Structure 1
Amino acid sequence: MLAQATVNGILLGGLYGLATVGFSMVWGVMGVINLAHTAFITLGAYVTYVLFERYGVDPLLSMPLAMASMFVLGYGIQRLILNHVIRTSLLLSLVVTFGIELVLTDATVLIFTSDVRSVNASYASTSVAVFGTLVPVVRLLAAGLSLALGVGFFVFLRRASLGQAILATALDREMSNLMGINPQQVFALTAGAGAALAGAAGSLSSMLFPVSPTMGVSFLGAVFVITVLGGIGSVEGCIVAGFLYGLVQAWAAYWLGTSFQEIVAFAMFLGVLVVRPQGLFGRAFFGEHA
């Protein structure tokens, strides 16, 4: 049973890590805690649900469309709204992003109602045995694709010129502007990429959890813990911390009961803040903007 809980926790942790990457990057590059991030997860799940329910599109095949849709939405919101408040106080950005989250959630309720939906792919109940432990195929696919997307985004930031521009803007906004980088454009692209990754996480989550207008909110606690644990703005930190978070939750649920898994996770969150505030892979400059 412990082995089964460990496997399930690790696989779920991969999805948590993917759901956090965009949130962490937006926080690290712009210094904005984007509370609308969970709405992108929800909408990504609904894109997959609609394509599966109405057109029979496999959830894995619908994920690119969910990512593209959320990129456009995230880019537009950043360009039209958040870029105008980014230089104000952190409190104002929190209020604005919280308001956007409420609008998106209410719009989802109006369109789809509050009914709980599900995406049941043909392989949803299939498992494979690994050393006597059953590994659900859906969780394995979700963890594998989450890891692949996370690593792909990490490579993009380090190798692509646009990725270098994002990192340069996070390092020194004013200097990057002097070097010909348009911070406003970088902010919008970063927000779009973060929303796209959240959409991918929502698309994969639709195969694991019930789809509802508030499903993204259940990720909020995990997203904060993983961001702090991995380090604000650190993609590799999100990936590693996501797996660690899922593992800790699984072990806490196994040894103490499911009612204690959130308590243990947030105790870890507080411990990291006290011992290593920058997180496992955090850099000093991320999130520090005048």
Structure 2
Amino acid sequence: MALGQYLVNGLLQGGLYACIAVGFSLVWGVLNVVNMLHGAMVVLGAYFTLYGVQQLGLPLFAVMPVVCAIIFAAGYGIQRGLINRVIAQPILITLTLTFGLELIVNNLILHFFTATPRSLITDFGAFEFLGVRVPVVRIGGMLVAGMLTLLLYWLLYHSRVGRAIVAVRMDRHASALMGIRIPQIYALTFGIGAFMAAAAGCAVALIYPVTPMMSGLFLGKAFVICVLGGLGSVPGAIVGGMVLGLVEGVGTLVLGPQWATSMGFLLMMAVIILFPAGLAGKKGYE
């Protein structure tokens, strides 16, 4: 029964991981920007959710869309106002810029919310089946993350804006010749990445205590999942998230929780050697 419990926990965790990573993967794949700010956006989404529910007394499901919209607008503005000015520079320049922005956002979170761990007090009960116990709140968080990830997939492949994003990812110069406004697509893509980070943060606030120091953890998970699933691929983020969740779950059972993160990075190194394009990526553009 212990194995079943850890496998279920790993699958639920994997759905959340996919939501955390998909925006990071999309920005990296389309803009060729390693967005070091992504983890801080996840944490910011979690803290805004906590503030809206605990301090303002608003309903949870009214707070979440507002939080995602605010961080989407912030991401869009950051890309148009700052990152777009150096987008043509070597990747190290944009990496350094987003790293500096991450430090600023983390310090702002520490200033306004302090480093004390915070969490939502929720008691929605749990389901039990064949000795496996799953809290309802974890299922809810995973469903929110999973639905938004699938919605992003639909947006990319079944909408005009989404097809423009995919076209820019595949060939930026050909897309410009076809009349696609590249700076606008870049800003929109970065905003979508921020939106998905905020949505993941809302789900995290439902499940775990949150501290500002968690941003590096979330960023590391996003890196691993990008390598596992394939860069810029929504299905790849889902596959990579699920695989990482299961590996960490089984690793926790077999070796202990202190080895869970190491197992993920060991798996990442193996995939880099055996499948350079990722488990679900396509060579050349995914």
Shared topology, TM-score over 0.5?
Answer: yes
Q: Distance in 2 between matches of 1:285 and 1:59?
A: 41
Q: Which residue of 2 aligns with 1:24?
A: 25
What amino acid is the match of 1:39? A
Unpaired runs of at least 5, structure 1: none
1:277 alignment counterpart: 276
The list of structure 1 runs, each at least 4 consecutive aligned residues, that deviate by more than 6 angstroms after superposition, is none
Give the SS at the match of 1:175.
helix
Write the deviation string for residues 217-275 of structure 1: whole angstroms up to 9, x where unpaired.
22122111101100000001101211111110010010111111112111100000000
Distance 1:170 1:14 in 2: 24
C-alpha distance in 1 between matches for 2:196 and 2:238: 13
Cα displacement string for residues 139-184 of structure 1 (whole angstroms, at most 9, x for unaligned residues): 1111111111111100110000000000000111111111110110
CA distance in 2, matches of 1:256, 1:182: 51
| Residue identity matched to 1:274 | I
Counting aligned pairs with the same residue, the percent is: 40
Provide the residue aligned with 1:51 in structure 2: 52
Report if the CA contact (8 A) 1:48-1:203 is conserved. Answer: yes
- Once residues 35 and 59 of structure 1 are traced to their aligned partners in structure 2, the CA distance between those partners, rounded to angstroms, is 28
**Per-residue deviation at 1:114?**
1.8
Contact persistence 1:170–1:285 (CA under 8 A) = no
Letter in 2 for 1:252: G
> Which has the higher mean CA deviation after the structures are superposed, 207-216 or 174-183?
207-216
SS of match in other structure, 1:214: helix
Structure-2 separation of matches of 1:215 and 1:12 = 16
CA–CA distance in 2 between the matches of 1:222 and 1:184? 28
Q: Which residue of 2 aligns with 1:244?
A: 243
Counterpart position of 2:193: 194
Give 1:122 deviation, angstroms.
4.0
CA distance in 2, matches of 1:285, 1:25: 15
Q: Which residue of 2 aligns with 1:221?
A: 220
Equivalence for 1:73:
74
Q: What is the Cα-based RMSD across aligned positions, in Å?
A: 1.2
Structure 1 residues 17 and 106: CA distance shift in structure 2, 3 A: same
* Distance in structure 2 (CA, Å) of the matches to 1:227 and 1:5: 23
8 Å CA contact 1:59–1:203 kept in 2: the answer is: no
Structure 2 regions of 5+ residues with no counterpart?
Answer: none
Pairs within 5 Å for 1:85-234: 85-123=86-124, 126-234=125-233
User: How high is the TM-score relative to the length of structure 1?
Assistant: 0.95
Contact 1:127 1:137 in 2 (8 A): yes
Could you tell me how far apart the structure 1 residues matched to 2:243 and 2:268 are?
A: 12
Query: How far does residue 103 in structure 1 lie from its aligned partner after superposition?
Result: 0.6
Q: Secondary structure at the match of 2:134?
A: strand
- Secondary structure of 2:206's counterpart equals coil
Q: C-alpha displacement at 1:113, in angstroms?
A: 1.8
Whether the 8 Å CA contact 1:229–1:280 is kept in 2: the answer is: yes
TM superposition shift of 1:130: 2.3
Name the amino acid aligned to 2:269. Answer: L
**Matched residues, number:** 285
How far the C-alpha of 1:108 sits from its partner, in A, is 1.1
The answer (yes or no) to whether the contact 1:2–1:254 under 8 Å persists in 2 is yes
Is the Cα contact below 8 Å between 2:41 and 2:194 reproduced in 1?
yes
Alpha-carbon contact 2:239-2:280 (below 8 Å) kept: no
**Distance of 1:270 and 1:58 partners within structure 2:** 43
* Contact kept in structure 2, 1:29 and 1:286, CA below 8 Å: no
Task: Indicate if the aligned counterparts of 1:225 and 1:269 stay in contact, CA closer than 8 A.
Answer: yes
Deviation sequence 1:172-199 (CA, Å, 0-9, x none): 1111111110110000000000100000
Cα offset for 1:116? 1.7
Distance 1:197 1:5 in 2: 26
